[in-house]
A and B are shown apart, each in its own frame.
Chain A
Amino acid sequence: NAGVTQTPKFQVLKTGQSMTLQCAQDMNHNSMYWYRQDPGMGLRLIYYSASEGTTDKGEVPNGYNVSRLNKREFSLRLESAAPSQTSVYFCASSLSKQGMNTEAFFGQGTRLTVV
């Protein structure tokens, strides 16, 4: 029962470096999400994908790009990391089918530090 798997779990980057956070779900969910969690600010949506082939900006998209590679996978890319992007990142997915349970399932999170 893998659920939502995101990699890596920890990462340290230097300012200006790039990296991609990977996320995959095996629940045949339609929607996928990337959040960042910062102390005192809850979870803020970076980007989401309502269905395969679509992506939309969330509340804090600047400095990030995403790719919905297929129905299972949704990656988040930092092109030029900045210290302000130091955070814990969560990938999530949900069935998002009207009339059905639509809770979000989360990955284990990635703690990213930009120095």
Chain B
Amino acid sequence: AQTVTQSQPEMSVQEAETVTLSCTYDTSENNYYLFWYKQPPSRQMILVIRQEAYKQQNATENRFSVNFQKAAKSFSLKISDSQLGDTAMYFCAFMRSNTGNQFYFGTGTSLTVIP
């Protein structure tokens, strides 16, 4: 079974600063996808960024970027120029590349951006 670990239950960052959220996973698969989802107080799950395991280049989406270390099974999320709207719960997720497979989620990191 796959497991996803987020070791930081809560984090805070000053507005405009940079913060990194950690995620590690355990799998014997070679092909898979990794995701970061954001859940603001509205409860809606919003995709932040995705990474295909076969791609060596780290994914970036505006202020969000990842540090994907396949050998170390690590997938951290860096948020630059933090904004108040970034305050949310962040979930790391793993999915194998086979069809119809399950998404495995970490327990989440609650991020607070301080004005």
Contacts and interface: CB of A to CB of B under 8 A. Distances in A.
Q: Do A and B bind each other?
A: yes
Given A42-B91, A103-B35, A50 B108 contact: no
Interface residues of B, number: 25
Contact of A106 (B6, B44, B101, B107): B44
B45 interface: yes
What interface size band does chain A fall in?
Answer: 20 to 34
B111 interface: no
Contacts, number: 65
Contact of A50 (B44, B45, B99, B104): B99
Contacts of B99: 30-31, 50-51, 96-98
Nearest to A40: B107
Contact of B103 (A40, A41, A51, A92): A92
Contacts of B100: 30-31, 48, 50-51, 54, 96
B50 A42 contact: no
Interface of A: 30-31, 33, 35, 40-45, 48, 50-51, 54, 58, 88, 90, 92, 94, 96-98, 101-104, 106, 108-109
8 contacts: A40-B9, A42-B6, A43-B105, A54-B100, A96-B99, A96-B101, A98-B98, A108-B44
